[in-house]
Amino acid sequence: MIVHSTPLLGAKLLEIEPIKDQRGYFARTYCKNILAQHGIDFELKQANIAFNEHTLTLRGMHFQRPPYCEEKIVTCYQGALYDVIIDLNRNSSTFGQWYGVTLSADNQLSLYVPKGFAHGYVTLQASTAIHYMVSEFYTPSHESGIRWNDPAINIEWPQRQNLSISSKDQQWEWFDMEQGGILMKEGHSG
């Protein structure tokens, strides 16, 4: 597994190193030791999947508030998606900035999302399946989000029309950079 930096403090792009032969290949998708060498102490507590039947399904931008902030490792096993994260850590040099990357069954990349980051995606193909490894249990009382089209963040989505978005995701809070927005008190790892 190869760990690449991203423009956001603590967030990493994970690339598999397939060992191939005539049967196919074998690759490690998670290694606590390799992640630790890159300053990531990821403790798996839940693993989830999401299946999206249609292209242009947008989910996000989700996070959990302290003390239940979570880290995620997100992988697309079928189809393709544009994955986006936002750094909400007030003490971070990349506070309020976003990063997006295409994850697909073809490129087999994963995205490590640190604590204190919002996460979301839009599907680029029909029948897209995503796997999440998560470091915290889902805690509905601490669930939160930021609007996918918040002008303070200004995410450059591949497309903004004809999106399928839940009513819940359309009603998240607006981010206010001047007032400090939605603050994370728990620092990131990495």
Q: Give the burial string for 32-66 (b: 16+ CB within 10 Å, else e).
A: eeebeeeebebeeeeeeebebeebbbbbbbbbbbe
C-alpha span between 173 and 14 (Å, rounded): 30
The residue from 62, 82, 112, 119 that is catalytic is 62
Q: Fold for 2-171, please state it.
A: Jelly Rolls (2.60.120)
For the chain, the structural domain boundaries read 2-171
- Mean pLDDT on 179-187: 49
The residue from 30, 68, 132, 142 that is catalytic is 132
User: Which residue is associated with the tokens 């990357």?
Assistant: 101
Q: Active-site residue 68, yes or no?
A: no
Q: Active-site residue 132, yes or no?
A: yes
* Model confidence pLDDT, tens digit, residues 120-154: 999 999 999 999 999 999 999 999 999 999 999 99
C-alpha span between 6 and 10 (Å, rounded): 8
Q: What is the DSSP string of 33-67?
A: HHHHHTT------EEEEEEE-STTEEEEEEEE-TT
Confidence of residue 156 (pLDDT cuts 50, 70, 90): very high
Say if residues 128 and 52 touch (Cβ distance below 8 Å): yes
